[in-house]
Structure 1
C-alpha cells in the first residue's frame, strides 16, 4: 500500500485511468459522426448490415456504451474534489467561486464544441452537474456513495415513468411517434438524419446555433445521474481507490464484484431490446434510464481493475495512458476533429457509407493519435492547449505553457 497522499502529488495511475476513459469514449462517439443519431443506440436503425455488426453492437452495449462516459464523469467528480482540496490547502479564500468560474468556462468550451462539431457534447452536462458537486463534499466517502446512488435511483425511477408513457401510448399519437423518431427506425426521421449528415459547414452552423437551446434542454434531465456519477468518483477518491492506496487484491475483488452485479442485468436489457424488435419506445428507456446504474457499476469495476494494474508499478503502457489522460480535454476535442474530418462533408464524406463494425474500426485513428502525441507534447509543454485555455480563462490569467 502507498503512503499518505500529498495533496499536490499527481497519481500516475489516475492519469492513466483518464487516458483509458477518453479513449473508450471515442469507441462510441464515432457512431454519432458515422451514422444517423438513432443508430448510436439502435443497430436496427442503421449500420447493422451483417452478423459482425450485431456482435459489435451487443459487445458495445454490454461493455462499452456509457461505461467509459460514466468513468469519465467519475474522474471529473474526483477532479473537482482534488481541486477544491488543493485550493483550500493553498489558502484560496474563495474555492467555490473559483470552481464556478471553471464550470462556466467549461460550459463555454462545450457549447462551442457542440455547435461546431459534436451536438452530443458532454462538457455542457458536466459543467452543469459539476456546479453542484461542492455542495456534497463535506460528506465522507460512504455518504457520498449513498448520495450518488440516490441520485441515480431518482433518474432511473423518473425515467421509468416516461418509459411507461411511451410504451403505453396510443399508436400514431405524438407520444408514440417521439421515441420512434429519436431511437427507432422511423423512415422519415432516418431520411432527415441522413440529409443533415451530409450538409455543409455553412448549413450546419446556423442550424446548430438556432437549435442550441433545444439541444441543451435534452441534457438537463441528465443532471441527476451525471451528478450522482461524479459523487461516486469523489467517494472513490476519498476512500483511497483512485489515490492508488488500495492493495491490488482489494481492487481486483471490487472489479469482480461490480462485474458480477452489473453484467447479468445488462445482458437482460440487451435481450429486452432484441425481444421488443428494437422499437424506439423500448430502446430509449433501456439506453437512457435502465442501463445507467449498471453502466456506473461496471465503470467502477473498470476503475478498480485499472488501479490494480497501474497503481503500484510503472510501465511504458502506464506512461502512454497517463500522458493521454493528462491531456484528456484536448484529446476529447481532438477526437471530434478527427471524426469530423473523416465523416462530414468538409472532410472525407464517409457519413453513412460504413457499417457499424467499419465505423468502429475508424475510432482507432483518434485513439492512436492521442496515444502517439501526448507524451512528446508533455515533454515540452506543461499542459495541453485546451487545458491551458480552460485554466487560464477560469483564473483570468494565463500561466506559462512551456516547461
Structure 2
C-alpha cells in the first residue's frame, strides 16, 4: 500500500479528518448558507416592484421585509460559503495526500470545471454568479496553501479592513460630491432593465452580459472580501475546527453571545444606508460598515447552529440541512433556473411585478421543495447532476 505524502508544514492536522466519511458540519453549514444566498439573489433577479404605469411602488410590508433582509441576511452568507470553500480545500488536499493521488492536476481540472459552470450560469441565468470568482480565487488559495493559520487569519483581517476602507472612501466621496438620484430617472432605468429581462432569449442573455461587464470592477473589490473568508476557512481546516466541534463548545457559546450585538449593530446601520431613511448615496458607506461587521454576525449564526446540532431537535434539522449541503451546487444552479423561469422572458416574465415580502415567501417554499426533492434524490443516487459533472471534470473520467 502506497504511503501518503504529507509535509509537516502543510497539513499537519489532516489526521483529524475522517478517512471515509464526510464532515457533517460542513454539509449542514453549506445547506444553511444556501437559504441565505437564495434570499439575497431573488431580489436581484426579480427587480424592484413596479406598478402598471411603470412607477416604483413599495408597501410598508415590503419596506419591513427589505429592512430585515438587509439586516439579517445580506452580506452574511456568501462569506460563510467562501469559508466552507477554503475549509473544503484542506479536506481535498488531505485526501489526496492519504491516497498518494497527484493533487495539482485534479485540483486544476476542478477549478476549470467550476469556472465553466459559472460562466454558463452567469451568461444564461444569473449574472451575479460567484462560481467563476471562486475558481479564480481557488488559484490564489492553492498558491498560499502552506501559509500558517495565524498568518492566514491576519491576512484575512487585513483584506476585510482594506475592502471596508475602499468602500468608505468611495461612499463618502459619493455623499459629498453627488446629488440625490432623481426618482424619475431611476424609474426609467429600471423600466429599461425590466423590458430587457421580459424579452426573449437573446434579450435576457444580452442583459446578463451587460451586468457581468458592469460588475467586473466590483467583483474584484468584493473578491478580496471573499478571499478573506477563504483564508479563514483554510486556517480553520488546518486546525480541524469542524471535525472536533465538541472541543470548542465554550468558545462557540462565547462567540455566539458576544458577536451577535456587534454584527446586528453594523447590519442595522447598513440597512439605514441601503433602505432608508438615508438616500441611495449612502449605499457604499453602509456597505463598508457591513463588510467590517458581517463576519461577526456570520460567526454568531455558525456557532449558534453548531450548538443547536448537539441538541435533540438539532438532529432532525441537521439531517435536512446536511442533505441540502451535499447537493449544494445542484441546488444553487436550480434556484437560478427556477428564478430565471419566473422572472425573465424564459418563462413567466414577472420581473418587477412582486414586492419583497412575496418574493421571500416564494423562496422559503422553493427551499422547502429542494429539501424534500434533495432527500429523495440522495436515497437513490450518490451525487446530484451538477456534483456529478464537477466530479467528472475533477477526475478526468466518468465517476
TM-score of the pair, normalised by structure 2: 0.86
C-alpha distance in 2, partners of 1:265/1:254? 16
The residue aligned with 1:83 is: 92
C-alpha distance in 2, partners of 1:81/1:48? 48
Q: What SS does structure 2 have at the residue aligned with 1:357?
A: helix
Matches within 5 A, 1:3-402: 4-36=16-48, 49-93=58-102, 95-171=103-179, 180=181, 186-209=186-209, 212-247=212-247, 248-273=249-274, 277-279=278-280, 281-287=281-287, 289-310=288-309, 315-399=315-399
- Measured against aligned partners, the alpha-carbon deviations of 1:320-353 in whole angstroms (never above 9, x if no partner) come to 1101100000000011111122222232232211
Indicate how the Cα distance of structure 1 residues 47 and 27 shifts in structure 2: closer, same or farther if over 3 A, else same.
farther
Indicate how the Cα distance of structure 1 residues 316 and 121 shifts in structure 2: closer, same or farther if over 3 A, else same.
same
Query: 1:47–1:354: 8 Å Cα contact kept in structure 2?
Result: no
C-alpha distance in 1, partners of 2:203/2:276? 39
Cα RMSD over matched residues? 2.7
Q: What SS does structure 1 have at the residue aligned with 2:77?
A: helix
The residue aligned with 2:8 is: none
C-alpha distance in 2, partners of 1:116/1:315? 38
C-alpha distance in 2, partners of 1:370/1:159? 36
C-alpha distance in 1, partners of 2:185/2:108? 41
C-alpha distance in 1, partners of 2:57/2:79? 26
C-alpha distance in 2, partners of 1:373/1:392? 23
Question: Any unmatched runs of 5+ in structure 2?
Answer: 1-14
Q: How many residues align?
A: 379
Q: Which moved more, 1:255-264 or 1:236-245?
A: 236-245
- Measured against aligned partners, the alpha-carbon deviations of 1:100-152 in whole angstroms (never above 9, x if no partner) come to 32222111101100111101111112222222112333234333221211111
Indicate how the Cα distance of structure 1 residues 335 and 240 shifts in structure 2: closer, same or farther if over 3 A, else same.
same
The residue aligned with 1:42 is: none
C-alpha distance in 1, partners of 2:55/2:21? 47
Query: 1:104–1:127: 8 Å Cα contact kept in structure 2?
Result: yes
Question: Any unmatched runs of 5+ in structure 1?
Answer: 40-44
Q: Which moved more, 1:137-146 or 1:13-22?
A: 137-146
Q: Which moved more, 1:188-197 or 1:108-117?
A: 188-197
TM-score of the pair, normalised by structure 1: 0.85
